[in-house]
Amino acid sequence: MTAILELQNLSKSFGAVVIADDTTLVVEQGEALGIIGPNGAGKTSMFNLITGTLAPNSGTIRFMGDDVTGSSAAQRCRMGMARSFQVPQPFGGLTVFENALVAATQGAGMSGQAASDHCLDILERTELLDKANTVAGSLTLLDRKRLELTRALCAKPKLLLLDEIAGGLTEAECVSLVDTIRDIHKSGITIVWIEHVVHALLAIVDRLAVVDFGKLIASGEPKAIMASREVQEIYLGIEMDEVGHG
Amino acid sequence: MDWMNAIIQGILLGGLYAMIAAGLSLIFGVMRLVNIAHGDLIILAAYLALTASMLLGLHPLLVLLLVVPMMALFGYVLQRGILNGTLTGDILPPLLVTFGLSVIIQNALLEAYSADPQKLDSGVLDTASMTMGGISIGILPLLMFAVAVAVIAGLQFIFYRTALGRAFRAVSDNQDIAQLMGLNRRHVFGLAMALSLAVVAVAGIFLGMRTSFDPSVGGGRLIFGFEAVIIGGLGNLWGTLVGGVILGVAQSIGGQINPGWQVLAGHVVFLLILAIKPRGLFPRMTD
Ligand SMILES: Nc1ncnc2c1ncn2[C@@H]1O[C@H](COP(=O)(O)OP(=O)(O)O)[C@@H](O)[C@H]1O
Ligand SMILES: [Mg+2]
């Protein structure tokens, strides 16, 4: 196995708030890695560091062997990174289809019919095809979440970063989302997934990492990690029933 | 008949204002930059056309083929070299820098061409006219209006039917997300300024063929451009055309009543519309 993403001694803080504390993490090609941790632990910030919207104070980020620490967010996207946002951020004035096309043409470098076909294919998989011509600003929460996934996939990522994409969905919606993500993973895309809905996460991931106060405190086989003392301590009193689902 | 004539002249003049306004609103729409130098850039384009047409002995309309790409290139370089650095999210830096640019362009033109009024020689087009129902309509104003409609239609097409337009709208919508989708915002802004100055070049050449100009008149054109954008409603290109026409007709009718009231009548109508519909006549549906 070869590494697709390597974070080496990555540190970042905002004044007294430490969001990455000497984080070292390797993600293998084709892996599905889950990330859990309490609110404010620095999970979303880790995605910001990986995708280039946030610059680290120190440490390096390598993507497919290349040092991308100094690369722009746009360059990293074109190299094959895409993410979804915890709080959906569609281009509200563009239609769903146009949102997808931006990712396909700019992120994946496609054009013309090939780009359209690619977007239509993804929209069908994410069950948004019937809303292709809807202005994204008027979508419901579920559809906005689907659009987040659509847009990320349209950029033809090698590495897909999902940030709490299952949060706020009904059980049925969650099941269908898990199926979609499983298909994506099977197609060979490496996935890093931050999620509070642990049973959804455990249905997909090969490995689980735990983050707290910007520190990577544990990483390993999902069941073992869930049963570990660190996780039990962190989750003590919060969302134990959800954890129990796993 | 005089009134009918005034209205028609006003409509045709409105085409020029719409072209001026379209370039202005394109830049504001994509990067929230109010380009104070916009009017001076129009005059710069007119002088460039003057020089090119004298040196090469070509008709100003042919010189368009040269001045449009020159201004577009200048726009791209200007944006990437200077203006991108002012877009920090604060509204003041771009205002100050484009104001400075306006002063620099005016003084450079004054130095190079003196303050003497100039005019682009459009040859027979200058006086050619046709008579319709007893009203004589100049071919040049008619051509100018047709070109303005074509420019607006072209911009509309680019904005809503091409990958470039999608990039403009995506960046305008959310710059940070656009970057994450692989868009280089600096490059997109450069292209937007290039497109804006290409339109400026067309407007400048028609302005120069229609009236005389000197280095100081850019500011007045900027005001007319602003008024046309705001009357039509921000972010609506066809609205901008209507805004330009309303302004042109108001000025023309004002001038018909009393030659001194031409510009004043335009401002009064602008203020009236602003008082009744603060967001303009056709504000964009979303947001
Ligand atoms: N730009 C910023 N400036 C200051 N503090 C920030 C910034 N971004 C995030 N933080 C802080 O960093 C901490 C981690 O946030 P985040 O990464 O969103 O956590 P998580 O996704 O794990 O819930 C929070 O305390 C948050 O308030
Ligand atoms: Mg988060």
Q: Which domains can be identified in chain A, with CATH numbers?
A: 3-80+157-243 (3.40.50.300), 88-155 (no CATH)
What is the average per-residue pLDDT within B12-24? Answer: 96
Test mutation, A75, A89, A91, A95, chain B, max B CBs within 10 A = A91
Count CB atoms within 10 A of the CB of residue B181.
Answer: 29
Is A102's CB within 8 Å of B172's CB?
Answer: no
When CB atoms are compared, the residue of A73, A92, A108 closest to B180 is A73
Length of chain B: 287
Given a contact cutoff of 8 angstroms between Cβ atoms, the answer to whether B129 and B8 are in contact is no
Is B182's CB within 8 Å of A53's CB?
Answer: no
As a whole-number percent, the residues of chain A with pLDDT over 70 amount to 95
**pLDDT, chain B, mean:** 94
- Taking any CB pair shorter than 8 Å as contact, residues of chain A touching chain B are 51, 53, 72-74, 77-78, 82-83, 85, 89, 91-94, 98-99, 101-103, 105-109, 111, 135, 137, 151, 155
Measure CA A199 to chain center.
Answer: 17
Is A102's CB within 8 Å of B183's CB?
Answer: yes
When CB atoms are compared, the residue of B172, B179, B287 closest to A73 is B179
Q: Which residues of B touch A137 (CB under 8 A)?
A: 286-287
When CB atoms are compared, the residue of A77, A98, A137 closest to B166 is A98
What is the average per-residue pLDDT within B141-146? Answer: 96
Total beta-carbon pairs less than 8 A apart between chain A and chain B: 80
User: Ligand 1, atom 27: nearest CA belongs to which residue?
Assistant: A40
What is the average per-residue pLDDT within B126-152? Answer: 92
Query: Residue B126 has what pLDDT?
Result: 85
User: DSSP label at B58?
Assistant: -
Query: Residue B286 has what pLDDT?
Result: 46
Given a contact cutoff of 8 angstroms between Cβ atoms, the answer to whether B238 and B278 are in contact is no
The secondary element (H helix, E strand) that includes residue A125 is helix A112-125
For residue B69, give how far its alpha carbon lies from the nearest alpha carbon of chain A (Å): 25
Query: Residue B89 has what pLDDT?
Result: 85
Which residues sit opposite A32 in a β-bridge? A191
Query: Residue A238 has what pLDDT?
Result: 55
B-chain residue closest to A135, CA distance: B286
Residue B111 in this model has a pLDDT that exceeds 80: yes
As a whole-number percent, the residues of chain B with pLDDT over 90 amount to 85
Residue A41 CB–ligand 1 contact under 6 Å? yes
- Taking any CB pair shorter than 8 Å as contact, residues of chain B touching chain A are 163, 166-167, 169-170, 172-174, 176-185, 286-287
When CB atoms are compared, the residue of A53, A102, A135 closest to B181 is A102
Ligand 1, pocket-test mutation among A17, A49, A212, most atoms within 8 A of CB? A17
Q: How far is CA B54 from CA A238, B58, B74, in A?
A: 80, 7, 21
Residue A19 in this model has a pLDDT that exceeds 90: yes
Is A94's CB within 8 Å of B166's CB?
Answer: yes
Residue A240 in this model has a pLDDT that exceeds 70: no
Residue A116 in this model has a pLDDT that exceeds 50: yes
Residue A48 CB–ligand 1 contact under 6 Å? no
Residue A245 in this model has a pLDDT that exceeds 50: no
- CA separation for the pair A165, A154 (Å, rounded): 17
B-chain residue closest to A92, CA distance: B173
Test mutation, B180, B184, B185, B191, chain A, max A CBs within 10 A = B180
- CA separation for the pair A31, A190 (Å, rounded): 5
Query: Residue A239 has what pLDDT?
Result: 52
- CA separation for the pair B224, B227 (Å, rounded): 5
What is the average per-residue pLDDT within B4-20? Answer: 95
Tens digits of residue pLDDT in A41-91: 999 999 999 999 999 999 999 999 999 999 999 999 999 999 999 999 999
What is the average per-residue pLDDT within B194-205? Answer: 98
When CB atoms are compared, the residue of A51, A82, A111 closest to B163 is A111
Residue A244 CB–ligand 1 contact under 6 Å? no
**pLDDT, chain A, mean:** 92
Query: Residue B112 has what pLDDT?
Result: 97
Can you list the domains of chain B with their CATH numbers? 2-119+136-276 (1.10.3470)
Pairing of strands A215-220, A17-28: unpaired
What is the average per-residue pLDDT within A20-34? Answer: 96
The two structure tokens encoding residue A74: 């746009």
The closest alpha carbon to A221, from A233, A206, A210, belongs to A206
Residue B287 in this model has a pLDDT that exceeds 50: no
Is B182's CB within 8 Å of A92's CB?
Answer: no
Tens digits of residue pLDDT in B33-68: 999 999 999 999 999 999 999 999 999 999 999 999
pLDDT band, very low/low/confident/very high, at B155 (cuts 50, 70, 90): very high
User: Ligand 1, atom 8: nearest CA belongs to which residue?
Assistant: A45
φ and ψ of A196, to 5 deg = -90, -25
Query: Residue B20 has what pLDDT?
Result: 97
Tens digits of residue pLDDT in B208-262: 999 999 999 999 999 999 999 999 988 889 999 999 999 999 999 999 999 999 9
